[in-house]
Structure 1
Amino acid sequence: MKYYLAIDVGGTNIKYALMQEDGKLISSDKLPTPEHSLEEFLTSIYSIIDQYHERITGVAFSVPGKVDTETGTIYFGGALTYLDQLCLKQVIKDKYNLPASVQNDAKAAALAELWLGSLQGAKDAAVIVLGTGVGGGIILDGKLRMGPHFQAGELSLSVLEASKPEVEKMVGFIGSAVLMISKINEAVGNDDLKNGQLAFEALKSGHEEAQTIFQNYCRQIAYLILNLQAFFDLTTYAIGGGISSQPLLIEEINQQFNTVIEGSPLLSMNVADLSIIPAHFGNDANLYGALYQLLENP
């Protein structure tokens, strides 16, 4: 059995896991993500690989930003701007003589669902990752769509409400789970605006303003799904991100989607049946997807 190291670079932490080629996770850990320096970032990455390099066959990365998966080069880097134009694949090959792959984090989540998760066997589907922004991965004919610019599925960059100013019209703003949770906690009077558990407790207790915020949010996600359906004609939408573990979220998105369709004779006649389900993998999704990227493109 071959072993691989999967590394998920997030804005707060770098998560890593020793994994078998069949996807079994052997062990995992994390360390804080350096905020400002590429040199510090690479030092952290080297400290992880040094623990395992004699046991592993390759290193698989999930990272923020646009990724040229052929060269393993990161562009923009999301919140980690120092990653811009870093050819991480070559860096690892030069230092350790190990094969490496690099994939965008949301696309890695989609690959995880396609490989071992809720989209196994799916030919045409999508993963929508609800977090600080909205990430996505589009599966067409059983394969992840990358696009000629490696930007297919960058849902945050699409426009949902054209009448809004600047960033407020973008899906990344409108569909931000972090922003929605903050609005609920502010409405309820919770001091910790980022606490998702408190926000969902308010929803479950029937807090009226919290429910209005939540319903409006889920309606926007339903509109996003409707747009994707018009473009791609998919069968299944898997909702990921931290809040996807809340059954209430999936229930409300389905409810809002059905309300939109049933309220329009035109949509009722033209929109085929589809499934909106929770993604299978939670916080480890990017690790599994990163490994699958490496296995499929050694």
Structure 2
Amino acid sequence: MKTYLAFDIGGTKLKYALINNQGQMLKKYSEDTVKTSQADFLNRFNEIIQNFKTQISGIGISVPGKVDTKNQKISFGGSLPFLDGVSFNDSLDTQLPIFVENDAKSATLAEMWQGSLSNISNGVMLVLGTAIGSGIVLNHQLVYGSNQQAGEVSFMSYGQFDKEHLMGGKSSAVALIQDIAQHYQLDNIDDGPKVFELITNNKTYAVKQFREFCRNVALLIHNMQTVLDVDCYVIGGGISRQKIVVAGINQAFDDLRSENDFVNNTLMKPQIVSSKLYNEANLFGAVSRFEMNFNQTQDFKKVGNI
């Protein structure tokens, strides 16, 4: 039985877990992300690895930003700009194999390994959070594109090209929750459960904003489907735990198609389903390649032969 150490680097929290090769999470941890400097961040990372080094066979890391598939070097870094240019292969004090992946693609790999995409040849993962992340799967292979930017759907235009009309803003789950919370003057503007309580209790403004959010996601799915023609769209992120989210997106998608008989009668409707791994998808995805025979990057084949 092999055990891997998985990391999910977030702007607020650093999550890490021990996951075995059967896809079982043995132990999960969470702490504040060190943001004082790159050196401090890497020092803490190395401390954690040293605590588990005798127990693990490999290290998987889910990161914000773009990851070069050849050398696993990070470009940009979302809310952690000091990650720009970091190569964990060069920066970590370990001889263990390391796999680094973009967070949305990690979530996609997790669903391919043991989630809603496990039996799907052609599908899309949509991670609803601060913006909207995506992973595209064709012929059961994760698509990276020429510049490792395939699936960056947050940059799709919603009619105009300013920031407010890009899909990342129009389909932001965080913005939805904060907007409704502020309208109803909640003490905590990030109180998702309370916001969804308002929605399920049919509070007028909450329902209106939620329906608009679902319509925006449905429109994104429609636009992607005209190009990709996949079987399934998996809705991920913490918000996907709320059953009304996938139900609302499905209803909005049906409503969109009902507005145009030509579209409705020509294009097959894909499945729109919930993630099975929710917020833990990034952790599972970070180590999934150790157990999945993808061999899509030369560098991972070199370091990941365990």
TM value normalised by structure 1: 0.96
Q: Secondary structure of the residue that 1:17 maps to in structure 2? A: strand
Q: Please tell me whether the aligned partners of residues 74 and 86 of structure 1 are also in contact (alpha carbons under 8 angstroms).
A: yes
Equivalents in 2 of 1:203, 1:19: separation in Å? 36
Q: Does residue 1:235 correspond to 2:231, yes or no?
A: yes
Aligned residue runs from structure 1 range 54-73, under 5 A: 54-73=54-73
The AA in structure 1 aligned to 2:59 is V
Q: Does residue 1:218 correspond to 2:217, yes or no?
A: no
Equivalents in 2 of 1:177, 1:293: separation in Å? 29
Equivalents in 1 of 2:163, 2:40: separation in Å? 31
Match of 1:285 in 2: 281
Aligned residue runs from structure 1 range 15-30, under 5 A: 15-30=15-30
Q: Does residue 1:268 correspond to 2:267, yes or no?
A: no
Could you tell me how far 1:73 is from its partner in structure 2?
0.5
Instruction: Tell me whether 278-287 or 190-199 shows the greater mean CA deviation.
Output: 190-199
Equivalents in 1 of 2:159, 2:191: separation in Å? 27
Aligned residue runs from structure 1 range 200-215, under 5 A: 200-215=196-211
Count residues in correspondence: 294
Match of 1:91 in 2: 91
Equivalents in 1 of 2:102, 2:289: separation in Å? 10
**RMSD of equivalent CA atoms:** 1.2
Match of 1:185 in 2: 181
Q: Please tell me whether the aligned partners of residues 59 and 96 of structure 2 are also in contact (alpha carbons under 8 angstroms).
A: yes
The AA in structure 2 aligned to 1:290 is A
The AA in structure 1 aligned to 2:77 is G
Match of 2:143 in 1: 145
Equivalents in 2 of 1:120, 1:98: separation in Å? 27
Match of 2:130 in 1: 132
Instruction: Tell me whether 47-56 or 185-194 shows the greater mean CA deviation.
Output: 185-194
Could you tell me how far 1:21 is from its partner in structure 2?
1.5
Could you tell me how far 1:226 is from its partner in structure 2?
0.3
Match of 2:296 in 1: none
Distance 1:36 1:173, change over 3 A: farther
Q: Please tell me whether the aligned partners of residues 42 and 91 of structure 2 are also in contact (alpha carbons under 8 angstroms).
A: no
Equivalents in 2 of 1:86, 1:295: separation in Å? 25
Moved over 3 A (4+): 294-297
Could you tell me how far 1:79 is from its partner in structure 2?
0.7
Could you tell me how far 1:69 is from its partner in structure 2?
2.7
**Identity of matched residues, %:** 36
Equivalents in 2 of 1:108, 1:288: separation in Å? 8
Q: Please tell me whether the aligned partners of residues 69 and 101 of structure 1 are also in contact (alpha carbons under 8 angstroms).
A: no
Q: Secondary structure of the residue that 1:77 maps to in structure 2? A: coil
The AA in structure 2 aligned to 1:224 is L
Equivalents in 1 of 2:173, 2:61: separation in Å? 24
Equivalents in 1 of 2:263, 2:212: separation in Å? 20
Equivalents in 2 of 1:22, 1:52: separation in Å? 19
TM value normalised by structure 2: 0.93
Q: Please tell me whether the aligned partners of residues 66 and 149 of structure 2 are also in contact (alpha carbons under 8 angstroms).
A: yes
The AA in structure 1 aligned to 2:12 is T
Could you tell me how far 1:169 is from its partner in structure 2?
1.3
Q: Secondary structure of the residue that 1:51 maps to in structure 2? A: helix
Structure 1: give runs of 5+ residues left out of the alignment. none
Equivalents in 2 of 1:215, 1:254: separation in Å? 11
1:2-33 deviations in whole A, cap 9, x for unaligned? 11111111111111111112211111112210
Could you tell me how far 1:186 is from its partner in structure 2?
2.0
Equivalents in 1 of 2:251, 2:28: separation in Å? 37
Match of residue 166, structure 2, among 162, 165, 170: 170
The AA in structure 1 aligned to 2:280 is D
Match of 2:79 in 1: 79
